[in-house]
Structures are given as structure tokens and as C-alpha cells.
């Protein structure tokens, strides 16, 4: 494919490469970022390749940021993975480099970068990176490190919910099969990604007791600062409970409001049918058609979001 060749040729041109991803990273963001870095280093040991952004303690078993390269200058190639919007790029200096490559699977509402590779039909950015590295292996003889395979597999299972979500395609499964041929322990990834400390299990229990389900199939739940303190859970860690009532009969789409210290709310949307990312865009966010995030400034905005989600579910059920 031409886009593969364009990305490879651009990588070849630069001796300094800094790789970014979105803030509050998930396994797909970290897997694509660090997996790509390991792959480039394997082919070009003399290149300076760094990864940047805040470390996520709950995902440290996957990777932490590589500070081999700490600054971006006019001779640095910048690659941004899994980040639809420039405002969500984690780290400074990404716009100070010689060139920017964007690799992402979210809707391309904020185009940037050249080359720019965006494919919304892919389950994850890690699925895209897997296609790239396999193309380079076949066409250029480039080696695929086991670490890259491990990281890409983690991102792939993360964004597909262990192949349960509707974004899982035949190509997704083919890429997973290719990755499993490399030397890493998938069981170890599952064990780390889906282990549940007691505090999280108890929070999930309260969620199951307390969530609200409307007649139209819209479900919602507030996670207050008091609840987070009660269970010793951080805002980032609370994302693990978002699917707690996903399989409940009658639930069509749902939203979590996670209270921040200053009184605003981090908003997390999920859906089993209706498109919800346009609602997220209206509230300072975005994402996929079935999984998105946003921000509500106050309680009134959360109530407006609930009403809008009810309307979306009602229209979807009577389409």
C-alpha cells in the first residue's frame, strides 16, 4: 500500500523520532506508541527514538515512557498514534518537529500530519500498526520484535474488549493470529489487564446497585469524589467499571459521570447500537460511534446529557 511505503520512507529519512499518543492512555494508545518505537529501534539501532507523555501506573506492565530522546527540534520526526484531536496529544513540542505522521482509527474530525493514515474501519490503532509491520516484514525484510507483537496484541484486545465488541472484524482476528505467532505470553497480558483488586470489585458492586435505567434504554451512573475516596480508586482506574451493567437486559446505551475535584465531570459513553460520538462532540469530546468521552462542566450539563441520551435511545428503538 502507498501509505505504508510513505510512512516507512519518512521514518527512514530521520535520525531522531519522537512518538506521541493521547492523554490518559489506554492499552491501544500505549501499545501502538511503544510497539512502533520498539519496531523502529530494531531496524535502526543508531536512531534516537523516544516515547513521551504521562505514565499510567495501572498499565506499567505494558510500558513506561522511553526518555532516550527528551526534546523535539527542527530535525525530529514526530509520530502521533491513536489521537484524533490535536488538543488530546499528551506532551509538549509535537508541533515543533520537521514533520508529523498521524496514525489513528478514530473519525478524522481534526486532520493533521503528512503522511496521515486514518482508518475508522479498524478496531484499533494497534491493528493498523500490525498491518504496517507485517507489510514491512514481507516487502522489506524488516524484523518484527516480540515486544512489538506483545504490545500490539494488548492494544488490540483492549479496544475490542477481548474480541467481544462489534468493531471486531475478520481482519482483526487475522492480525491477532499473526501476532500470536510471536514469542510472548498472551495469558500474562490478560492476567494483568483484567485483574480486579478488592477495592474495584466493591466499587463495581455499588455501581450495580445504584445505576439508573430509563424506559428508553439509557442507563447512567454518577461516580462521586466521595465514592472514589471510599474505595481508594483514582479517576483513571474507575474506567474499569464502565461495562459493569453492559449486559443488563434493556440497556441500549449508557454514560458514566466521574466527578473531578473541581466539580466538573469526566463523561464516558458506551453503546450497543445507537451512535453516541456526536453527543460527545457537543460536550468537548469525541470518539468512536459506540464508545466516546466528553466533559461536563457542572451537574446541569450532566442532566442535559442524560436527556439527550434518552432521546438518542428512543429514536434508535423506534427507527
Count CA atoms closer than 13 A to 22's CA, side-chain side.
23
User: Could you state, in order of their start, the residue ranges of all structural domains in the chain?
Assistant: 2-193, 200-317
Whether 40 shows a pLDDT value over 90: the answer reads yes
Question: Average per-residue pLDDT in the chain?
Answer: 96
Least confident of 18-22, 67-71, 262-266: 67-71
Question: Strands, E, within the chain: which ranges?
Answer: 16-20, 48-51, 76-81, 99-104, 116-118, 212-213, 218-223, 253-259, 265-271, 286-287, 291-296
pLDDT tens digits, one per residue of 83-106: 998 999 999 999 999 999 999 999
**DSSP assignment, residue 89?**
B
Please, what CATH class does the domain formed by 2-193 belong to?
alpha beta
Q: What pLDDT does residue 209 have?
A: 97
Q: How far apart are CA 317 and CA 315, in angstroms?
A: 6
Q: What pLDDT does residue 166 have?
A: 87
Q: What pLDDT does residue 309 have?
A: 98
pLDDT tens digits, one per residue of 166-183: 899 999 999 999 999 999
- What pTM did the predictor assign? 0.90
Q: What pLDDT does residue 1 have?
A: 80
Whether 68 shows a pLDDT value over 90: the answer reads no
Q: Which three cell numbers stand for residue 166?
A: 462489534
| Residue of 64, 112, 83 lying closest to 21 (CA atoms) | 83
| Residue of 254, 258, 276, 275 lying closest to 267 (CA atoms) | 258
Q: What pLDDT does residue 204 have?
A: 97
Model confidence band, residue 128 (pLDDT cutoffs 50, 70, 90): very high
Whether 148 shows a pLDDT value over 90: the answer reads yes
184 C-beta neighbours (distance < 10 Å), count: 18
N- to C-terminal Cα separation, the chain: 39
Calculate mean pLDDT across residues 217-237.
96
Calculate mean pLDDT across residues 16-39.
97
Return the residue matching grid coordinates 460511534: 289
User: Residues with Cβ < 8 Å from 203, sequence gap 6 or more?
Assistant: 223, 227, 231, 233, 238, 241
Whether 28 shows a pLDDT value over 90: the answer reads yes
Note whether 2-193 and 200-317 share their fold: no
Q: What pLDDT does residue 35 have?
A: 99
8 Å CB contact between 81 and 36? yes
pLDDT tens digits, one per residue of 240-257: 999 999 999 999 999 999
Model confidence band, residue 319 (pLDDT cutoffs 50, 70, 90): confident
8 Å CB contact between 115 and 136? no
Whether 149 shows a pLDDT value over 90: the answer reads yes
pLDDT tens digits, one per residue of 266-288: 999 999 999 999 999 999 988 88
Q: How far apart are CA 266 and CA 285, in angstroms?
A: 10
CATH code, 200-317: 3.10.310.30
| Residue of 123, 126, 154 lying closest to 58 (CA atoms) | 154
User: Residues with Cβ < 8 Å from 68, sequence gap 6 or more?
Assistant: 48, 49, 50
Q: Are strands 253-259 and 218-223 parallel, antiparallel or unpaired?
A: parallel
Distance of alpha carbon 317 from the chain centroid: 29
Amino acid at each position: 500500500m502507498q501509505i505504508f511505503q510513505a510512512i516507512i520512507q519518512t521514518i527512514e529519512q530521520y535520525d531522531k523520532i519522537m512518538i506521541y499518543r493521547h492523554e490518559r492512555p489506554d492499552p491501544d494508545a500505549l501499545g501502538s506508541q511503544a510497539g512502533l518505537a520498539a519496531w523502529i529501534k530494531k531496524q535502526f539501532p543508531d536512531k534516537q527514538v523516544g516515547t513521551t507523555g504521562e505514565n499510567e501506573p495501572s498499565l506499567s506492565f505494558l510500558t513506561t515512557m522511553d526518555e532516550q530522546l527528551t526534546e523535539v527540534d527542527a530535525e525530529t520526526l514526530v509520530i502521533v498514534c491513536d489521537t484524533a484531536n490535536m488538543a488530546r496529544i499528551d506532551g509538549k513540542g509535537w508541533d515543533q518537529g520537521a514533520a508529523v505522521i498521524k496514525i489513528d482509527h478514530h473519525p478524522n474530525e481534526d486532520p493533521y500530519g503528512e503522511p496521515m493514515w486514518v482508518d475508522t474501519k479498524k478496531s484499533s490503532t494497534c491493528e493498523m500498526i500490525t498491518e504496517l509491520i507485517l507489510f514491512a516484514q514481507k516487502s522489506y525484510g524488516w524484523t518484527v520484535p516480540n515486544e512489538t507483537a506483545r504490545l500490539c496484541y494488548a492494544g488490540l484486545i483492549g479496544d475490542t474488549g477481548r474480541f467481544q465488541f462489534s468493531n471486531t472484524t475478520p481482519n482483526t482476528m487475522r492480525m491477532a493470529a499473526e501476532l500470536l505467532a510471536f514469542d510472548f505470553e498472551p495469558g500474562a497480558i490478560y492476567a494483568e489487564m483484567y485483574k480486579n483488586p478488592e477495592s474495584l470489585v466493591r466499587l463495581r458492586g455499588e455501581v450495580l446497585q445504584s445505576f439508573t435505567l430509563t424506559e428508553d434504554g439509557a442507563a447512567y451512573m454518577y461516580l462521586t469524589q466521595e465514592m472514589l475516596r471510599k474505595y481508594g480508586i483514582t479517576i483513571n482506574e474507575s474506567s474499569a467499571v464502565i461495562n459493569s451493567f453492559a449486559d443488563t437486559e434493556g440497556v441500549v446505551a449508557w454514560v458514566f459521570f466521574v466527578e473531578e475535584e473541581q466539580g466538573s465531570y469526566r463523561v464516558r459513553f458506551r453503546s450497543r447500537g445507537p451512535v453516541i460520538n456526536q453527543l460527545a462532540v457537543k460536550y468537548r469530546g469525541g470518539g468512536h460511534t459506540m464508545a466516546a468521552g466528553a466533559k461536563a462542566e457542572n451537574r446541569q450539563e450532566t442532566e442535559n446529557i442524560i436527556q439527550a441520551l434518552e432521546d438518542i435511545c428512543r429514536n434508535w428503538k423506534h427507527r
